[in-house]
Amino acid sequence: MSDSVGIVTPQKWVFEAPITLSSGAVLPRYELMVETYGELNADKSNAILICHALSGHHHVAGYHTAEDKAPGWWDSMIGPGKPIDTNRFFVIGVNNLGGCHGSTGPSSINPATGEPYGSAFPVVLVRDWVETQARLADRLGIQQFAAVIGGSLGGMQALRWSITYPERIRHALVIASAPKLTTQNIAFNDVARQAIITDPEFHGGDFYQHGVVPRRGLRLARMLGHITYLSDDGMGEKFGRLLRTGEYQYGFDVEFEIESYLRYQGDKFANVFDANTYLLMTKALDYFDPARHYGGSLAEAMRQAKAKFLVVSFTTDWRFAPARSREIVKALLDADRTVSYAEIESQHGHDAFLMQDAPYMNVMRAYLNNVAKEIA
């Protein structure tokens, strides 16, 4: 456990100043759940912000109790001596606004009604998250992040940071991400949303008052999502056509191992995740398109940035394919920004950004080692 950050305690940060969101909606106050690892140095130059993806949260590394079975979701990357080395960096994990792990979200109490927000919770965009993260940085006294790092939807936040606050980040690490979703990707998200919205127990988003959870919808959404996070090859290698009993049962119960796996993942997720948060996160993905404000030119958008970039993609990721990362790289090169790009061979599909393929870990370690030297 010497490479673990050990037992960590989440903190709740309360922001009493109202925030006007991109949609025009105003939240009078909000709370963010935060975890930090390592020590902030005297000139506050060694902070790294970790931005989470669709189902992530502030618990990025370490354990909450000695009994925890699993560590934080990116424990493989973060810890003493790991690529994001907590001996050198002060690492911040935050649960985004609209989340369901303690930050203000649809299941929080709406001060205006005394009831959970539910359907009244406004749509949040990636730029809104960046705004709340910037306010968090202000409170921590961090003027400039050494790096903002994220995979998938988290990578979109890192990109947005570099455009909105060019002076406030030295490096952006954009992993398994995209400059905007493809049509197909939006389509997947809508099927997931429809699964949730058409669940009779969704109640238009106000299911909390009914004492129910749209578990079936959430489960289906997760099962669908999970298929798209894995590669065909990876899935085939892991499950093949394996049958649980070894024989055809000629029915509709769980027979193939893949069915068992997906149902297990779906059930597990439906027990802990909030349906409204799932809708919000997928909408934030769909709306993300920084080029939109620059005449459709991503290069023009990236021209705002001052950070240096590391872009990473994975060969079998078809949900956020390497071609999408190459668009980011091309835009950065066209905008004359500093960028390195690695296209990692991996069997793990989109999930690869959470895995430990050696070249991936090596390139992250090499890059962040230089970031650490730069700020030392």
Partner 1 sequence: MAHQTTLRADLKHIAEQIKPNSRVLDLGCADGELLAWLQANKQVRGIGVDVDVNSIVTCVEKNLNVIQADMESGLQHFEDGSFDFVVLSLTIQSMHNVELILQEMLRVGRCGIVTFPNFGYWENRWQILKGQMPVSETIPYEWYNTPNIHFCTVKDFSQLLAKLGMQVDGQVVLHQGEPVNFLPNLLGSLALVQFSQTKVV
Residues binding partner 1 (CB under 8 A): 310, 326, 329-330, 333-334, 338-345, 359, 362-363, 366-367, 369-370
Nearer to partner 1, 111 or 296 (CB): 296
Nearest distance from residue 329's CB to partner 1, in Å? 6
Q: Where are the alpha helices (DSSP H) in the chain?
A: 126-140, 153-164, 183-197, 215-229, 232-239, 257-272, 275-287, 298-302, 322-334, 358-375
**Angle formed by the axes of helices 257-272 and 232-239, to 10°?**
110
Q: What is the largest CA-CA distance in the chain?
A: 67
The SS3 assignment for 37 reads strand
Provide the residue type at 98 as one letter.
G
DSSP secondary structure of 150-165: EETHHHHHHHHHHHH-
List Cβ neighbours of 250 (8 Å cut-off, separation of 6 or more).
Answer: none
Q: What is the 3-state secondary structure (H, E, C) of 179-221?
A: CCCCHHHHHHHHHHHHHHHCCCCCHHHCHHHHCCCCHHHHHHH
Q: Which residues are paired to 221 by β-bridges?
A: none
Nearest distance from residue 231's CB to partner 1, in Å? 18
Nearer to partner 1, 30 or 367 (CB): 367
Nearer to partner 1, 20 or 369 (CB): 369
Q: Which residues are paired to 169 by β-bridges?
A: 145
Phi-psi region of 319 (alpha: psi -120 to 50; beta: other; left: phi over 0): alpha
Nearest distance from residue 24's CB to partner 1, in Å? 38
Nearer to partner 1, 148 or 223 (CB): 148
Nearest to 352 by CA among 211, 234, 219, 193: 234
Nearest distance from residue 368's CB to partner 1, in Å? 10
Tokens 């030392």 belong to residue: 376
User: Rg for the chain (alpha carbons), in Å?
Assistant: 20
Q: Which residues are catalytic?
A: 152, 317, 350
Nearer to partner 1, 191 or 366 (CB): 366
Please tell me the distance from the alpha carbon of residue 197 to that of residue 33, in angstroms, as a whole number. 27
Nearest distance from residue 370's CB to partner 1, in Å? 5
Nearest distance from residue 376's CB to partner 1, in Å? 14
Nearer to partner 1, 92 or 344 (CB): 344
